[in-house]
Amino acid sequence: MKTNLRSKKGVLVLSIALAIFSACRKDRGYISTEVKVPEITGTTGVYMLCEGLMGGNSSAITYYDLATKTTIADYYKQVNGTSLGETANDLQQYGSKMYCVVSGIQGSTQSFLDVIDIKSCKSLKRIPFNSATDGYIPRFVTFYKDKAYVSRYDGKVSRIDTASMAIDGEVTLTPGLEGLAVANGKLYVCNSNHYLYANSGKDKVSVIDLTTFTKTKDITVNNNPVKINATADGDLFVVTWGDYGSILPSLDKISSATDTKTGTYAYDLGNLAIAKNTAYVAKDIYSNPEIKPLNITTGALGNSLNTGTPLIATIYGMTVNGFNNDLVVADANNYDSSKGFAYGFGADGTKKFSFETAGLPQHAVFVYSYK
């Protein structure tokens, strides 16, 4: 009697499927193939980027351990055996790494992006931003879908693959680029009124489609936009500094849904910090400095944050902890080149910690514990 070949194949396929099915079971259910994002359970430490004095090659990253209350003023140098560099301007976390923008000084080849392991503060790679004779002066960094985007004073935005840690694309805008932020799959870049560039954007925020990595339009804002932050709802707030004369500073609001300016507020701001939908501004920093919460829907400012005693001397930077909405304020200590201070406040304004930093602190990155 002949055996049916098709039946044999069917039995074999069924047997293999049952074997795989059985192997993929546990006593209490199936093995999940979904990748789980680690759940943050707390904050264990704070990195503080310190700009240092221009010309001193004195940029540093200070580390503060919250449990032991111990501080290492130049932790980067202790770990890596070398100085961070000249005029570090931005420090941001993405995944398991920190990205430090080291601007350098105009006229010298000191510009780079330092990619740093967040657990150890070990430098993994320095990505240079220099021509043969000059630096491109990178300013700020932000992220979207495994890419880092860096604004540059020479008018370009560089795209970096976070896996290979290599530049894989560039867009040319106008010279004097400053802050940048991502919302709704688009990159928004401030075109400042930089004194070295007569043909700078002056009053524009450029919009870049991140799918095609091309500029789609310019949004007109007040003169000299320098800082921009996005909310979780897709709105963006732009700090503009005017012309230091007849054109007054302001805070402008942009909708990423329509790519239009939807509001302007007559605030003189030195700093703006947003995480998700929690926002703070540093107001009138040279005359009567105050830190106030910002209502991202109405643009209204709340009551001044009680910073306690001693008062913060020089508000040089602010960072909101996205985990618990705590605010870390960097105090440049009257622009002392040797030391500054950092103060941590709870969402209710209660001071939680403070520590001494290297000179001219400005931006914090948080070290978390995970479940």
CATH number assigned to the domain comprising residue 193: 2.130.10.10
Tell me how far apart the alpha carbons of residues 45 and 342 are, in angstroms, rounded to a whole number: 13
Which pLDDT value is given to residue 355? 97
Backbone dihedral angles phi then psi of residue 7, each to the nearest 5 degrees:
-65, -40
Q: Is residue 29 part of a domain?
A: no
Task: Write down how long the chain is.
Answer: 371
What are the helix (H) ranges across the chain?
5-23, 75-80
pTM of the shown model = 0.88
Q: Is residue 118 part of a domain?
A: yes
Under DSSP, the state recorded for 338 is: S
Give the number of domains in the chain.
Answer: 1
Backbone dihedral angles phi then psi of residue 17, each to the nearest 5 degrees:
-60, -40
Tell me how far apart the alpha carbons of residues 165 and 118 are, in angstroms, rounded to a whole number: 15
Please compute the mean of the pLDDT values over residues 312-335 and round it to a whole number: 94
Exposed, middle or buried, 33 (CB in 10 Å: 0-12/13-18/19+)? exposed
Q: Which residues pair with 139 in a beta bridge?
A: none
Per-residue pLDDT of 45-74, as tens digits, reads: 999 999 999 988 999 999 999 999 999 999
Per-residue pLDDT of 192-203, as tens digits, reads: 987 666 656 699
Tell me how far apart the alpha carbons of residues 317 and 57 are, in angstroms, rounded to a whole number: 20
Q: Higher-confidence residue: 352 or 25?
A: 352
Which pLDDT value is given to residue 9? 41
- Binned at pLDDT 50, 70 and 90, residue 20 comes out as very low
The mean pLDDT of the chain is: 89
Q: Is 156 helix (H, G, I), strand (E, B) or coil?
A: strand
- Please check whether residue 275 is in contact with residue 322, taking contact to mean a CB–CB distance below 8 angstroms: yes
pLDDT(17) > 60: no
- Binned at pLDDT 50, 70 and 90, residue 2 comes out as very low
Q: Which residues contact 147 (CB under 8 A, 6 or more apart)?
A: 159, 160, 161, 162, 210
Tell me how far apart the alpha carbons of residues 319 and 326 are, in angstroms, rounded to a whole number: 8
- Binned at pLDDT 50, 70 and 90, residue 307 comes out as confident
Q: Which residues contact 50 (CB under 8 A, 6 or more apart)?
A: 59, 60, 61, 62, 88, 340, 357, 358, 359, 360, 361, 362
Which pLDDT value is given to residue 286? 73
Q: Is residue 339 part of a domain?
A: yes
Tell me how far apart the alpha carbons of residues 290 and 265 are, in angstroms, rounded to a whole number: 16
Which pLDDT value is given to residue 8? 41
Phi and psi based region of residue 343 (left: phi greater than 0; alpha: psi -120 to 50; beta: remaining):
beta
Please compute the mean of the pLDDT values over residues 263-275 and round it to a whole number: 95
- Binned at pLDDT 50, 70 and 90, residue 4 comes out as very low
Please compute the mean of the pLDDT values over residues 176-197 and round it to a whole number: 91
Q: Which residues contact 161 (CB under 8 A, 6 or more apart)?
A: 146, 147, 168
Q: Which of 93, 34, 30, 31 is nearest to 61 (CA)?
A: 93
Geometric angle at alpha carbon 90, from 40 and 254, rounded to 5°: 85
- Binned at pLDDT 50, 70 and 90, residue 1 comes out as very low
Q: Is residue 304 part of a domain?
A: yes
Per-residue pLDDT of 214-260, as tens digits, reads: 999 999 999 999 999 999 999 999 999 998 888 999 999 999 999 99
Hey, what long-range contacts does 283-287 have (CB within 8 A, 24 or more apart)? 285/314, 285/315
Which pLDDT value is given to residue 339? 96
Q: Is residue 30 part of a domain?
A: no
Tell me how far apart the alpha carbons of residues 241 and 265 are, in angstroms, rounded to a whole number: 12
- Please check whether residue 210 is in contact with residue 228, taking contact to mean a CB–CB distance below 8 angstroms: no
Q: Which residues contact 32 (CB under 8 A, 6 or more apart)?
A: none
Q: Is residue 356 part of a domain?
A: yes
Please compute the mean of the pLDDT values over residues 351-362 and round it to a whole number: 96
Q: Which residues pair with 29 in a beta bridge?
A: 26
**Edge-to-edge strand list for the sheet holding 40-50:** 70-72, 60-65, 40-50, 361-370
**Boundaries of domain holding 169:** 45-370
Per-residue pLDDT of 113-153, as tens digits, reads: 999 999 999 999 999 999 999 999 999 999 999 999 999 99
- Binned at pLDDT 50, 70 and 90, residue 283 comes out as confident
Which pLDDT value is given to residue 245? 85
